[in-house]
A and B are shown apart, each in its own frame.
Chain A
């Protein structure tokens, strides 16, 4: 028999050989020192390796919270060692782990499990959204009903208790009465009034004991009622103010009498003289209508003329009688400028019609006719400036 290979020796030590093979190997080992020595070496490696693997035990605290204690696990029966007592018997490692409780999954496929869980979560979210939306609609309708009833004044002899209790605010459908509204006005001041949010005595504890939605609804009813009553109060104030104004107009001096001298002399109370509103540019320019360039071109039968280097404030129509040299029966196109000091400069233009006499030059205002158009340049500036500006009319 040839020398024993290492695999055979391991199989021998592992008890994996048949009895006949063991006898044959035993006979060889008795006559072969090399194989005997090798057997001891293999035995050393075998035990060393098994000890190393055995030291790789799972941590004792690992999974402690997952699996309870139980009986020792059942391991497969190990083949008995060879009958030869001279062969070493490998000690079997103790199986110290405990079997946990079997947690059988609902479904073998983890993906299906997760999908089912997500579907359930989706259904739960949908139910929550629908339920929450319905509850919000209910709250909104309840608040609007409460505000409508709260706007209606209380019957005679009864103060308006609408903000006090939700059931009274919602269930009250009594007839409208102005006197009751007046009382309600005293009970519930309008928003912004002093003591607006002042609660009646003992109402604080009562409000705290109510559910939050009732308190919120109460607050909405109070605000609606306050707004409605403030509107009624405003109408009453207007009525009173109109009466007072009518009385005052009978004793008020006419505007023509409100001269500065009269006011300064104490003849008229200064508080009665309203401050004069500043004139608008149109009033200052004495135009009765603003027009665009298209309309100005149509009025002139050609392009409107402008002062070179200046930007017009606007273009308007003025009465011809207000422009020297123009036909007083027809309007003039007035191009209005404003200089840096706020002074107005007016460039009037009017198309000359057949039979119309040319404009006579004025000593004060520059008037001239050019290209079938009569011009008149005037303004709140000096004559010298007007003369210079005339040269820039294009």
Chain B
């Protein structure tokens, strides 16, 4: 059990963290979510680990996002009492305008398109993407086509806006 889990960890942890980082934009949060994903894998060892791990990780992101929304509402109330700006979560990332634009473009996609695109970037084939996201395999091509087009168009739109503004 432990050996199998160790192999799974060695095999999928970096890709899981990377996908989660691209999904959330926060490396620490990505690592925490990845650890939580493997903790759940210890409790219930999956038969098909790769889709299972990424599916659990993406579910955790969605749950974490919902909690973050409620936290954000509370923080908004607190921010009204304190005018000081909140510290940036990752100053290094925030300084990278290009990554910011990509992330902003990625944020324009819906969850299914975005996750399909990120899973594809991690080497998932259509069958694995379909299994992970609970979609039909035949819909993955269309999903990826829409996701890629929207991502590029949103990114180019931001670039044009930046150039016009400058």
Q: Which residues of A contact B (CB under 8 A)?
A: 5-11, 14, 16, 42, 45-46, 48-50, 52-59, 61-63, 66, 70-71, 73-76, 78-79, 92-93, 95, 97-100, 102-105, 108-110
Question: Which partner residue on chain A sits nearest B91 by CB separation?
Answer: A59
> Which of A10, A78, A104, A108 is within 8 Å of B2, CB to CB?
A104
Query: A14 contacts which chain B residues (CB < 8 A)?
Result: 120, 125-126, 141, 144
Given contacts A59-B92, A62-B27, A70-B10, contact A16 B125 (CB under 8 A): yes
Query: A76 contacts which chain B residues (CB < 8 A)?
Result: 50, 123-125, 128
A49 with B18: CB separation less than 8 A: no
**Number of B residues whose C-beta is below 8 Å from A?**
59
**A6-B149, A49-B148 provided; 6 other pairs, C-beta below 8 A?**
A7-B145, A16-B126, A58-B30, A59-B93, A62-B28, A92-B123
B126 with A95: CB separation less than 8 A: no
Given contacts A45-B149, A104-B42, contact A97 B15 (CB under 8 A): yes
B145 with A42: CB separation less than 8 A: yes
Assembled-state Cα–Cα distance A161/B69 (Å): 76
Query: A104 contacts which chain B residues (CB < 8 A)?
Result: 2, 5-6, 42
How far, in Å, is A301 (CB) from chain B's closest CB?
A: 79
Question: Which partner residue on chain A sits nearest B155 by CB separation?
Answer: A52
B39 with A97: CB separation less than 8 A: no
> Which of A56, A58, A63, A71 is within 8 Å of B102, CB to CB?
A56
> Which of B2, B6, B90, B122 is within 8 Å of A75, CB to CB?
B122
In the complex, per-residue mask of B118-153: 1 if CB is within 8 Å of any chain A CB, else 0: 101111111010000000000111111111110110
Assembled-state Cα–Cα distance A16/B138 (Å): 10
Assembled-state Cα–Cα distance A290/B104 (Å): 97
Given contacts A42-B145, A52-B152, A76-B50, contact A63 B31 (CB under 8 A): yes
In the complex, per-residue mask of B1-41: 1 if CB is within 8 Å of any chain A CB, else 0: 01001100111111101100110000110110001101110
Query: B121 contacts which chain A residues (CB < 8 A)?
Result: 50, 53-54, 93
Query: A70 contacts which chain B residues (CB < 8 A)?
Result: 10
Question: Which partner residue on chain A sits nearest B2 by CB separation?
Answer: A104
A95 with B152: CB separation less than 8 A: no
- List B residues 58-111 near A (Cβ within 8 Å): 90, 92-93, 98-99, 102-103, 105-106
Assembled-state Cα–Cα distance A58/B16 (Å): 12
> Which of B14, B120, B139, B140 is within 8 Å of A99, CB to CB?
B14
Query: A108 contacts which chain B residues (CB < 8 A)?
Result: 39-40, 42-43
How far, in Å, is B141 (CB) from chain A's closest CB?
A: 3
B148 with A73: CB separation less than 8 A: no
